[in-house]
Amino acid sequence: MNFGDLTSNIGGILGITCGCGAGLIAVAVSGFLIFNMFRNRARTQNLLQTGTPASAVIVSIEDTGWRINDQPQAKVTLQVTPPDRPPFQAVIKQVFDVFDLGSLQPGAPAQVRFDPNDTSKIVIESLGGGAMMAPGMMVPNNMMPGAAPVVPGQFTPKVEPPPAWPAGVPAMTTADGQPLNPQLQAAMVTQDQYYAQLRQTGIEAKAVVLTSSNLNIRNYNTGWVYDMSLDVTAPTGEHFQSKTQAAIVDTSQHKYAVGKLVIVRFDPNNKAQCTLVRAVES
C-alpha cells in the first residue's frame, strides 16, 4: 500500500401504578428481545441456505458481554474475498458455541455467506477447516454499505502469496510487532490489488472522512492500517457513503483524521468501496 502519505489503503396508589407499569415494561422488553432472537435466527438460517459463499479471514474479535443460552456473542471483523466481486471488510455480531472459541482468532480462516445485495448481512458458516458446532445468530451491521451490482468480469480477485519483502524490513505486523498471519496478509494484499486498480480506472472525487478505525496492523513499520468510512461527492454533485482501507504513514495521520477532506477514486458501478489517493491538506 504505497501512494504518497498512504503506505498501502441504552405511597400508595401511585406506587402500585408505577410498579405495574415497570412490570409491563419488563414484560414488553423481554418479549421484544425474544422476538428479535427468533427473527435473527430465521434470518441466519435463510442466509446459510441462500447466501453467496466466500472465504474470509478474521481481522479482530471483541466480546460484546452478551450470553445467549450460556453461549457468548462476539463482534467479529472479517476480511472477505468473494470469488466474483471485489474483496470487502464486514463487521458482524454472532453467537458462537464454546467449542468454536479456539478457532476464533485473528488471522484464522473462515467460510461465510452474505447477501449479494447487502454485504452487511453476513454470517460465518464455518471456522478453520471444519463446520461450526451450531450456527449463531447474525445481527446486520449497518456501518458497512451494501455493495452495488458490479459488471461481470470487472474484477476477479486472485489470492496470491504475499510478495517477498526486502531483507531486514518487516512487512505487515501486529501491534506487538509479531508477523501478521500469512492468510490475513494475503487477504490484505488482495484488497490492495483492487485499490491499485481503482487508482488507475476509478473516477476521482472529493470526500470527507466520517469514521476512522485503527485495525492494529502495521505496514512496513511506517504506518498503521485504518478502516474508514467517507462521504463522497462525485463530480456530478452526487453524495454517497463509501468505505476504504489504507495504511497511512505516522507523520501524515492528522491529514486523514475524521472531518478531513481527501481525494478518492471510485467505481461508478460499485460505490460501496473507494480508494484513497491523497489528502487535500498539504
Q: Is 225 exposed, middle or buried (0-12, 13-18, 19+ CB in 10 A)?
A: buried
Lowest mean pLDDT among 28-32, 72-76, 85-89, 182-186: 28-32
135 plus 177 within the same structural domain: no
Q: What digits encode the pLDDT tens for the residues 205-253?
A: 999 999 999 988 888 888 899 999 999 999 999 999 999 999 999 999 9
Q: What digits encode the pLDDT tens for the residues 103-150?
A: 778 888 889 999 988 888 888 888 875 545 443 333 333 333 333 333
User: What does the pLDDT average to over 51-78?
Assistant: 84
Q: Which of 139, 164, 197 corresponds to the end of one domain?
A: 139
Cα pseudo-dihedral 261, 267, 6, 114, rounded to 10: 110
207 plus 256 within the same structural domain: yes
Give the CA radius of gyration of the chain: 21
CATH number, domain with residue 205: 2.40.50
Q: How far, in Å, are 9, 123, 141, 157, 274 from residue 194 at the CA level?
A: 10, 24, 23, 8, 10
Confidence at residue 14, expressed as pLDDT on a 0 to 100 scale: 32
Please state, rounded to an integer, the average pLDDT across all residues of the chain.
74
43 plus 134 within the same structural domain: yes
Confidence at residue 182, expressed as pLDDT on a 0 to 100 scale: 83
Q: State the pLDDT confidence band at 178, using cuts at 50, 70 and 90.
A: confident
Contacts 24+ apart (CB under 8 A), 164-171: 165/220, 169/220, 169/221, 170/218, 170/220, 170/221, 171/219, 171/220
Confidence at residue 243, expressed as pLDDT on a 0 to 100 scale: 92
110 plus 35 within the same structural domain: yes
Confidence at residue 139, expressed as pLDDT on a 0 to 100 scale: 36
Which range marks the domain in which residue 125 is found? 13-139
Please state the separation of Cα 63 from the chain's center in Å.
16
Residue 281 pLDDT exceeds 50: yes
Q: Which of 139, 158, 185 corresponds to the end of one domain?
A: 139
Q: State the pLDDT confidence band at 60, using cuts at 50, 70 and 90.
A: confident
Residue 270 is which amino acid? Answer: N
Confidence at residue 149, expressed as pLDDT on a 0 to 100 scale: 36
Q: Is residue 148 part of a domain?
A: no
Q: Is residue 122 part of a domain?
A: yes
The rounded distance, in Å, linking the Cα atoms of 238 and 244 is: 19
The count of structural domains within the chain is 2
97 plus 197 within the same structural domain: no
119 plus 42 within the same structural domain: yes
Q: Please say whether the beta carbons of 226 and 213 come within 8 A.
A: yes
196 plus 242 within the same structural domain: yes
Q: How far, in Å, are 72, 84, 126 from residue 129 at the CA level?
A: 21, 22, 7
178 plus 127 within the same structural domain: no
133 plus 206 within the same structural domain: no
